[in-house]
Structure 1
Amino acid sequence: MTAPIAIIGTGIAGLAAAQALQQAGLSVQLFDKSRGPGGRMSSKRSEAGSLDMGAQYFTARDRRFVNQVQQWVTAGCVEQWTPQLYNSNAGVLSPSPDEQVRWVGTPRMSAIARQMLGELPVEYSCRITEVFRGTQHWHLQDAEGRGHGPFSQVVIALPAPQATALLATVPKLAAAAAGVQMDPTWAVALAFDAPLQTAMQGCFIQDSPLDWVARDRSKPGRDTNRDTWVLHASASWSRQHIDLSREAVIERLHGAFAELLDCVMPPPSFSLAHRWLYARPVGGREWSSLADADLGLYVCGDWCLSGRVEGAWLSGNDAARKLLAHLE
């Protein structure tokens, strides 16, 4: 019996690769350091309802991804989001002319990852720290010192800095991943008992500690009776304040939000801060995925392409395609 394929990471890229390989009749085993799937597509359950702290929405341009989105719509885990969008430049608010179609998971972003995962075998709260090859097979070691394997092939679907650490046995791939810089993002959720007096449901922001805010409950299917907002700090502000306490981050971004709306803003009845160390790649690439097919090691992620949700899905599928082509 052929050894299964290990997939490290259950974000959209890892799940896309796992789905494609399973559909081709291969056995896979997924690993993730978190307690659930989705990566930056995961959602945070809280007393204020479910909150999308990472990816806020996604678009679909590539025909293959458009087809996948339609399948998600049919499955009931994706709907179109049509927010009232604004731009803020130098403190001046204006309606956004951007009319592209935006999609969100329902009733939360993580619903997409749950749907993709299905019945695939996965081990959560398992941080893989080493990937090494024996005489014939790959083996993994986790942070608790436990071994996993043997595996016939390995797919690493992690942010570039985390992938680099697992590519010691393949210097060429390690060098490529090491050359990718990824920016951090501080995310803050605020909930208010009374709705804020604004028509805004999303805003792209310049010249501020913030670069995006969204009225989270304006998305379809959200389960809250409070006015919930998610604020994303800019990459430059997040880098400069990467080690700031969560309480201080909430205070400063709450202040920037009040300045954006130019109103007296009540204290929130709920607040939460989350730090994404590797939120988005700096610059785009056209790698699709990285591979050493002879060794049986593949690397995928949004950073291999556009940095978008679509890029993650395409990258995972490309890694699976390369793997399957080598097995033919």
Structure 2
Amino acid sequence: MTVPIAIIGAGIAGLSAAQALQSAGQTVHVFDKGRGSGGRMSSKRSDAGALDLGAQYFTARDRRFVEQVRGWVAAGWAAEWKPQLFNYRDGMLTPSPDEQTRWVGAPRMSAITRGLLEGITVNFGCRITEVFRGVDYWHLQDAEGVSHGPYERVVIAVPAPQATPLLAAAPKLAGIAAGVQMEPTWAVAVGFDSALPTPMDGCFVQDNPLDWVARNRSKPGRDAQPDTWVLHATSNWSKQHIDLAKDTVIERLWGEFAELVGCVVPAPSFSLAHRWLYARPAGNHEWGALADPDQGLYACGDWCLSGRVEGAWLSGQEAARRLLEHLD
């Protein structure tokens, strides 16, 4: 009997590893505590349509990832976003043209991870709380006390603070994950009945509680939506106001947005807030992925590399490569 490989986390890193392992002829079972795939690349369904509250776009620099993105575009899961970008500093709004190619999932960010799920066994709404070793194989225990297994190997593809307790059987890896600091981000979406009269599609914000704003409908596949905007607070502001009530967060960040956008902003007809506790790693790392091949435990995620979507995908590939290297 072929004993499958377990992957905890259906974000871009976990699904990248799952794809690579499945392509190599392995059987994989994916577990995720959420209701759908994507992690920080997921989209939130709302009264105003699907909103990208997490990753806003991604870039491709590594040759392997460039090739992968081409495949996603060919499959209709991704498209190039060509926004009119601005900078805001000291009360001044200035155009911010650059040569950077930016990609988004189409018609929403989660289209990519949904595509990657094809043909993969996945168990949603299942939060794994423990990874433990039986006589020959690994077993997983979920929050309901249900045991899953046996598994030949386990790949843990969740943010570092969540990976740490799951790596208890490999203290060295758990120690590395425990040392990774992840930064939070408050994200707010506001919608308006009529389009705001501004050419801005996105804005990098300096010296302000806001870090970034984007017009959601300016992205490919979202043009039928009302005029919705996604606002991201800085990590520092988010840390200082981590337990603020959502209504207050909306009020504060909408106020900052109304000040910078350069046109009259009515009260929004729609608003929501989402708190990403582990939005991004505080620094870059060079691990690629973490591995204890003797035990058959692996960890991957954007925190093992650059903190970017590309880093998450490459980390999943690296975890799969190391795992395949050590299979009997």
The TM tier, using the shorter chain, reads over 0.9
CA distance in 1, matches of 2:307, 2:317: 15
Deviations 1:87-132 (A, max 9, x none): 1122211111322000000000000000001021111111000001
Q: TM-score, normalised by structure 2?
A: 0.99
**How far off its partner does 1:47 sit?**
1.1
2:129 is aligned to 129
Q: Superposed, which structure 2 residues align to 1:114-193 within 5 Å? A: 114-193=114-193
CA distance in 2, matches of 1:185, 1:224: 28
CA distance in 1, matches of 2:41, 2:225: 23
CA distance in 2, matches of 1:306, 1:326: 26
CA distance in 2, matches of 1:257, 1:315: 35
Confirm or deny: 8 A CA contact 1:49 1:223 kept in the other structure.
no
**How far off its partner does 1:165 sit?**
1.5
What count of residue pairs does the alignment treat as equivalent?
328
1:110 is aligned to 110
**How far off its partner does 1:223 sit?**
5.4
**How far off its partner does 1:10 sit?**
0.3
1:326 is aligned to 326
Q: Give the aligned residue type for 1:31.
A: F
**How far off its partner does 1:226 sit?**
1.1
Q: Give the aligned residue type for 2:119.
A: E
Confirm or deny: 8 A CA contact 2:196 2:263 kept in the other structure.
no
Confirm or deny: 8 A CA contact 2:198 2:262 kept in the other structure.
no
Q: Give the aligned residue type for 2:308.
A: R
Q: Give the aligned residue type for 2:53.
A: M
Q: Secondary structure at the match of 1:327?
A: coil
Deviations 1:35-58 (A, max 9, x none): 000000000111101100000000
1:282 is aligned to 282
Q: Give the aligned residue type for 2:163.
A: A
Q: Superposed, which structure 2 residues align to 1:9-28 within 5 Å? A: 9-28=9-28
Q: TM-score, normalised by structure 1?
A: 0.99
CA distance in 2, matches of 1:77, 1:301: 21
Deviations 1:230-267 (A, max 9, x none): 00000000000000111111111000101112443111
CA distance in 1, matches of 2:175, 2:67: 34
Q: Give the aligned residue type for 2:146.
A: R
Q: Which moved more, 1:185-194 or 1:255-264?
A: 255-264
Confirm or deny: 8 A CA contact 2:130 2:140 kept in the other structure.
yes
Confirm or deny: 8 A CA contact 2:76 2:106 kept in the other structure.
yes
Identity over aligned residues, as a percent?
Answer: 71
Confirm or deny: 8 A CA contact 1:164 1:178 kept in the other structure.
yes
Confirm or deny: 8 A CA contact 1:107 1:223 kept in the other structure.
no
Q: Give the aligned residue type for 1:147.
A: S
Deviations 1:156-203 (A, max 9, x none): 000000001211111100010011000000000111011111110000
Q: Superposed, which structure 2 residues align to 1:46-61 within 5 Å? A: 46-61=46-61
Confirm or deny: 8 A CA contact 2:291 2:298 kept in the other structure.
yes
CA distance in 1, matches of 2:58, 2:163: 24
1:245 is aligned to 245
1:312 aligns with 2:312: yes
**How far off its partner does 1:225 sit?**
3.6
Confirm or deny: 8 A CA contact 2:284 2:307 kept in the other structure.
yes
CA distance in 1, matches of 2:86, 2:121: 42
Q: Secondary structure at the match of 2:264?
A: coil
Q: Give the aligned residue type for 1:253.
A: L
**How far off its partner does 1:70 sit?**
0.3
1:234 is aligned to 234
Confirm or deny: 8 A CA contact 2:84 2:97 kept in the other structure.
no
Structure 1 runs (4+) greater than 4 angstroms displaced: none
Q: Give the aligned residue type for 1:208.
A: N
Structure 1 gaps, min length 5: none
